[in-house]
Amino acid sequence: MENKNMSASREKVARVTGSATGIGYETAIHLAKNGFRTYASMRNLLKADQITKVAKSEDLPLHVIQLDVTDDISITKAINTVINESEKIDVLVNNAGYGLIGSIEDMSVEELKAQFETNVFGTFRVTKAVLPHMRRQHGGSIINISSIAGRIALPLYSAYVSTKFAIEGLSESMAYELEPFGIKVAIIEPGAIKTSFRREQAAKGSLEVSPYSSMMQLPSKIVEEMLKHRLDPEEVAKTVIQAIENPKPKLRYIVGKDAEELIELRRKSADEELFWLVGQSILKKEKQVFLQNRGQVAAQE
């Protein structure tokens, strides 16, 4: 393992978005421990205490910078800081994001737009800003943190799932476009991670009287079941390092046994069969309640 004393010409430079906690935090720390001059970025620098403390105590080549992936000025400023100090960017890890939960009917257009602004357009903005530098270098690695939700949908996660489906398509198309310039693209697809749903928030309409109110209790039960075998964010960070250091990385890296099992289920099942399986395991009770209530209303009429 090389350390920060390697010559500047050999030292690789990495940027990680959403580094305050979870996957972004662990990825930034692991990159620094593996000899990368690492810029850990986050929207709110008041959340930088822990990562700064670790970097100082372990004498890591890690720097914390402010970056809001929804703000073009913030992105430009952050990238200029990296280029002015390190003259290049070898690795970009797009991790910033959050999860919105709620039915489509309860969700506002503004809430859906905000979800896409961070999860999708944030990735787009930062990547677009970094690419000219990587092309001039004739190489680089772009790692996009997706999710098992980028391959399989769950009820009431339509906003979050759709952003992850978008990241999958964006990344796959980018891989074709950037390959001639020596720029590698990889998608990381974690299953249940200990911090996966920490930033989950409910659509405002779901907090009011809604025909989906009882169904809103289901996602927490789903998450609880998935989290029984959850992995530490460190496992995702290790996979990111693996993808970066592989001269011919795979396009997709699945992280977690639960994710592997769900992907295999998706691969083997027709759409109708998968819909039935998800419905049976998740919505069966809710469907029974709905049919019972509908019957009662019909009887009253």
CATH of the domain at 213: 3.40.50.720
Which residues have a Cβ under 8 Å from the Cβ of 2 and sit 6 or more positions away?
10, 34, 35
Residue 75 falls in which region: left (phi positive, over 0), alpha (psi -120 to 50) or beta: alpha
| pLDDT score at 290 | 45
Distance CA 45, CA 39 (A): 13
Which residues have a Cβ under 8 Å from the Cβ of 228 and sit 6 or more positions away?
none
| pLDDT score at 263 | 86
CB 201 within 8 A of CB 100: yes
Residue positions annotated with a catalytic role? 160
Q: Is residue 283 part of a domain?
A: no
pTM of the model: 0.85
The total number of structural domains in the chain stands at: 1
Q: Is residue 280 part of a domain?
A: no
SS3 at position 200: coil
Question: The tokens of 107 are what?
Answer: 């969700």
From residue 11, alpha-carbon distances to 44, 73, 134 in Å are 28, 28, 15
Q: Is residue 45 part of a domain?
A: yes
Q: Is residue 290 part of a domain?
A: no
Report which of 245, 256, 287 is spatially closest to residue 151, judged by C-alpha positions: 256
Q: Is residue 236 part of a domain?
A: yes
CB 263 within 8 A of CB 254: yes
Q: Is residue 109 part of a domain?
A: yes
241 exposed, middle or buried (CB, 10 Å; 0-12, 13-18, 19+)?
Answer: middle
Q: Is residue 98 part of a domain?
A: yes
| pLDDT score at 45 | 97
SS3 at position 20: coil
Q: Which positions of the chain have pLDDT values less than 70?
A: 1-10, 195-209, 213-229, 279-301
| pLDDT score at 274 | 81
Q: What is the DSSP letter of 150?
A: G
Q: Is residue 99 part of a domain?
A: yes
Q: Domain residues for 58? A: 13-268
